[in-house]
């Protein structure tokens, strides 16, 4: 894996939410919560009102809007991104209202009457997309369907969906593009491409739109928010300006416009859908709203598919465990019941290539396992570890040097402690799975610092950089670990009863 963890060491500390500028495709107003007086505004508000931004500070938003609009704003009570239609300075605006503790933040975009469509027309298109997504049954099928539907709505030159691993590297699992964009299918991008700070913002924002990376940033006036006495928190704002390093990243990818749409599972960021366009591309409020809706639909479907997979695996494990316990009782012997050549044994239960049990000095093995002297040394090693009742690893050679010569059969280990003091253990082994990661550029050069400076730049090449990963087995799932705990309790109770 990548040696330089810029994700947490550097990129993850950038204050992306306090960038204090916005993109120019909209306007921003910050209102005092109770009076609705304007306390801060984007400088381009002058283009909308015809007045300098300085002259608006301290005025009530009612001076720019109607009484009904003021009533809408006064009625806001939910701290969430709420869409509104407002009339400001005689112009109809799409608005997103963000209610904070001491102020109300309004994101504004001009409404294009010619582009507005009826609810029925939009609903028909959205219903088609939702139906297509709901009819999928696997993550791969869902991913392909999702990007096809999103490309149909947005018109981006290319869209890809990638899934994060436990180290927050993202692997592309679906892609749809034209010939002008590079092929990234199957490529893995290092965690620093979407660092911790950015990932946290996706928990607040369903999407991130950058219509033109060459935009001229619009500053907020005054610089400090009088309500919070600090920079205005733009965490959940669509208009939030873009960090320079990300704009350079887009330039190095040869794209002018981008949009990222979140995929959530279990309250965490599971993946992202990345949209790219070779030329500038602005999506209107309606299309962005559709993308926000489909983000929720896709996320819910991902969760449903993964939960179904977990349910099916749990059911199968419970079935096999019940059969294994029945065999132990039938044999009236732990080792014969768990390590026989019948249909169900420890290797089939835990999808292991081999298993070994050392109980009361009795050594029994099934399948492919390392030699006895290695097992004896591993048990001594386990006895000296402060691990819990169930120890597991998918990289045993990386933490126990003696396992290196046996990586082909023992890269993964699941050890169930029966009696630590006596050296009684049951150990399941998984073989090495050699795999090649096609990185989208060298992950160890994901960030390049200027000589003698803290200024840095993203990598300028996304060509495949291959890494061969060895000494690693398939990971043990949480369900398998729970099963191991249950099995340990059963073994303890069976031995207690037998010895009683």
CATH of the domain at 428: 3.30.450.270
Q: Model-level pTM?
A: 0.88
38-to-98, 140, 181 alpha-carbon distances in Å: 14, 48, 44
Residue 428: predicted pLDDT = 97
pLDDT at 73 over 60: yes
Residue 176: predicted pLDDT = 97
Percent above pLDDT 70 for the chain: 93
Which residue range is the domain that position 479 belongs to?
332-434+471-499
Answer with the residue of higher pLDDT: 211 or 435. Answer: 211
Does residue 340 lie within any of the structural domains? yes
Does residue 383 lie within any of the structural domains? yes
Residue 400: predicted pLDDT = 96
What would the mean pLDDT of 285-289 be, rounded to a whole number?
Answer: 94
Does residue 381 lie within any of the structural domains? yes
What would the mean pLDDT of 433-452 be, rounded to a whole number?
Answer: 76
Residue 453: predicted pLDDT = 55
Nearest CA-CA partner of 327 in 314, 349, 345, 315: 345
What would the mean pLDDT of 376-389 be, rounded to a whole number?
Answer: 88
Residue 7: predicted pLDDT = 56
User: pLDDT tens digits for 7-34?
Assistant: 554 444 455 567 889 999 999 999 999 8
Distance CA 60, CA 49 (A): 14
Residue 15: predicted pLDDT = 57
Domain count, the chain: 1
Does residue 476 lie within any of the structural domains? yes
What would the mean pLDDT of 303-324 be, rounded to a whole number?
Answer: 95
What would the mean pLDDT of 260-279 be, rounded to a whole number?
Answer: 97
pLDDT at 286 over 60: yes
Does residue 449 lie within any of the structural domains? no
Strand partners for 28: 107
Confidence of residue 427 (pLDDT cuts 50, 70, 90): very high
Confidence of residue 6 (pLDDT cuts 50, 70, 90): low
Residue 448: predicted pLDDT = 65
User: pLDDT tens digits for 103-124?
Assistant: 999 999 999 877 788 889 999 9
Answer with the residue of higher pLDDT: 187 or 444. Answer: 187
pLDDT at 46 over 60: yes
Q: What is the mean pLDDT of the chain?
A: 90
Q: What are phi and psi of 428, to 5 degrees?
A: -105, 140
């Amino acid at each position: 894996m990548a040696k330089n963890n810029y994700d947490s060491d550097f990129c993850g500390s950038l204050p992306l939410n306090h960038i204090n500028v916005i993109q120019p495709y909209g306007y921003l107003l910050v209102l005092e919560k109770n009076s609705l007086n304007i306390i801060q505004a984007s400088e381009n508000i002058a283009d909308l009102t015809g007045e300098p931004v300085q002259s608006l500070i301290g005025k009530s938003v009612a001076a720019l809007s109607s009484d009904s609009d003021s009533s809408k704003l006064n009625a806001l009570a939910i701290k969430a991104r709420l869409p509104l239609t407002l009339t400001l300075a005689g112009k109809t605006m799409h608005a997103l209202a963000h209610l904070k503790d001491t102020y109300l933040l309004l994101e504004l975009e001009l409404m294009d009457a010619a582009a507005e469509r009826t609810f029925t027309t939009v609903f028909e298109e959205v219903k088609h997309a939702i139906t297509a997504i709901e009819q999928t049954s696997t993550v791969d099928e869902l991913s392909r369907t999702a990007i096809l539907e999103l490309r149909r709505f947005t018109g981006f030159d290319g869209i890809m969906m990638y899934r994060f691993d436990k180290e927050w590297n993202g692997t592309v699992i679906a892609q749809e593009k034209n010939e002008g964009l590079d092929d990234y299918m199957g490529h893995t991008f290092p965690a620093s491409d979407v660092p911790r700070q950015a990932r946290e913002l996706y928990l607040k924002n369903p999407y991130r739109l950058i219509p033109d990376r060459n935009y001229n940033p619009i500053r907020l006036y005054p610089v400090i928010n009088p309500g919070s006495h600090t920079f205005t928190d733009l965490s959940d704002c669509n208009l939030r300006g873009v960090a320079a390093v990300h704009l350079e990243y887009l330039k190095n990818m040869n794209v002018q416009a981008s949009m990222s749409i979140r995929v959530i599972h279990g309250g965490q960021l599971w993946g992202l859908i990345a949209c790219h366009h070779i030329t500038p591309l602005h999506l209107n409020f309606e299309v962005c709203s559709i993308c926000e809706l489909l983000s929720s639909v896709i996320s819910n479907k991902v969760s449903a598919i993964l939960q179904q997979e977990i349910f099916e695996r749990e059911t199968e494990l419970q079935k096999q465990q019940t059969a294994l316990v029945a065999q132990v009782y039938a044999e009236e012997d732990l080792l014969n019941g768990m390590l026989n050549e019948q249909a169900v044994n420890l290797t089939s239960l835990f999808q292991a290539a081999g298993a070994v049990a050392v109980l009361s000095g009795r050594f029994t093995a099934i399948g492919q396992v390392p030699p006895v002297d290695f097992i004896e040394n591993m048990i001594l090693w386990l006895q000296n570890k402060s691990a819990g009742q169930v120890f597991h690893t998918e990289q045993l050679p990386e933490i126990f040097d003696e396992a290196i010569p046996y990586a082909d059969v023992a890269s993964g280990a699941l050890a169930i402690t029966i009696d630590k003091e006596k050296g009684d253990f049951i150990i399941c082994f998984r073989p090495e799975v050699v795999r090649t990661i096609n990185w989208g550029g060298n992950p160890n050069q994901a960030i390049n610092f200027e000589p003698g400076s803290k200024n840095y730049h993203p990598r300028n090449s996304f060509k495949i950089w291959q890494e061969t990963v060895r000494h690693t087995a398939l990971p043990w799932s949480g369900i398998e670990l729970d099963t191991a705990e249950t099995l340990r309790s059963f073994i303890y109770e069976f031995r207690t009863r037998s010895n009683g």
